[in-house]
Copies of this chain bind each other. A is one copy, B any other.
Amino acid sequence: MKVIKTIAEMREVRRSIDKDVGFVPTMGYLHDGHLALAAQAKKENPVVMASIFVNPTQFGPREDLAGYPRDIPRDLKMLESVKTDFVFIPPAEEMYPPRASTWVNVEKVTDRLEGAVRPGHFRGVATVVTKLFNIVQPTRAYFGQKDAQQCVVIKRMVTDLDMDLEVVICPTVREKDGLAMSSRNTYLKPDERKAATVLYQSLKLAERLYTEGERNAETIRRKMADLIKQQPLANIDYISIAHNETLEELDVVKPPALISLVVKIGRPRLLDNIILK
């Protein structure tokens, strides 16, 4: 595995590769969810590249960029364990030199959910992903379903801007008790960690209600909320049942529907979702 630390070197390496490239962009502090992306990329491409870049432009002014967890040596070991070929770790000064003033804005699908709570977040994501795509020039790029709105935004952007690559969305990787893997889980104290299973429980409840024939979105949202409220450490941020491409809230549930929620448990905002097929 080769570590690449400048844009110029990344371009040079990319030019020398005449095969399909699978790409896994990350902000580091990896967990098994990231490794599942890299492993799937390895299955589908002769060459796999990952990137580690804590992107400053997707953090809001009140979000803790400096405090974002980092552990590059551990990340590299993990990426090597799934046979990643190249890891691109660009310096922030190269990614955002002083005069940079270009943004990629995906409108409409960013008005809701995380986009509504974190203004500018998806502009930062879309811009950095565009830059990384232009530098790495992947054949396929891998994202986790865990960040459902990010998946919708990236797919919208790739389609709208005619980017010549395939976006592959991989299933959410979960702990044994169902908690979706996330770098933020490290912030959970032991009792909070136990309480956090309520997110997935509420999603399973929604899925069961749907399977049993319930089609009223408000009824499902309410029953999810009732379940979560039984957990005293949990504070619901939002529960959404929306169309999985437009992200418009649904009254009547029909596929492809995205059921997503954010619940604060202690310090971290925990996200989870499922798609009804």
Copies, count = 2
Q: Is A156 interfacial (CB 8 A cutoff)? A: yes
Residues of B within 8 A of A31 (CB): none
Q: Is the CB of A134 within 8 A of B161?
A: yes
Assembled-state Cα–Cα distance A130/B106 (Å): 14
User: Which residues of A (104-129) have their CB < 8 Å from a CB of B?
Assistant: 104-109, 126-127
Assembled-state Cα–Cα distance A137/B165 (Å): 12
A102-B105, A104-B102, A107-B102 in contact; A135/B162 too (CB < 8 A)?
yes
Q: Is A251 interfacial (CB 8 A cutoff)? A: no
Q: Is the CB of A103 within 8 A of B102?
A: no
Residues of B within 8 A of A102 (CB): 104-107, 126, 156-157, 160-161
- Of B7, B106, B135, the contact of A101 (CB 8 Å cutoff): B106
C-beta contact mask, A87-110 vs B, less than 8 Å → 1, else 0?
Answer: 000000000000111111111110
Residues of B within 8 A of A160 (CB): 100-102, 131
Residues of B within 8 A of A7 (CB): 162
Assembled-state Cα–Cα distance A105/B102 (Å): 6
A131-B162, A163-B134, A164-B137 in contact; A107/B99 too (CB < 8 A)?
no
Residues of B within 8 A of A134 (CB): 161-164
Assembled-state Cα–Cα distance A161/B161 (Å): 13
Assembled-state Cα–Cα distance A107/B246 (Å): 27
Q: Is A194 interfacial (CB 8 A cutoff)? A: no
Residues of B within 8 A of A100 (CB): 159-160
The minimal Cβ–Cβ distance linking A120 to chain B, given in whole angstroms, is 12
User: Which residues of A (194-245) have their CB < 8 Å from a CB of B?
Assistant: 245
Q: Apart from A101-B156, A130-B161, what 4 extra A-B contacts exist at CB < 8 Å?
A: A99-B245, A102-B105, A102-B106, A134-B163
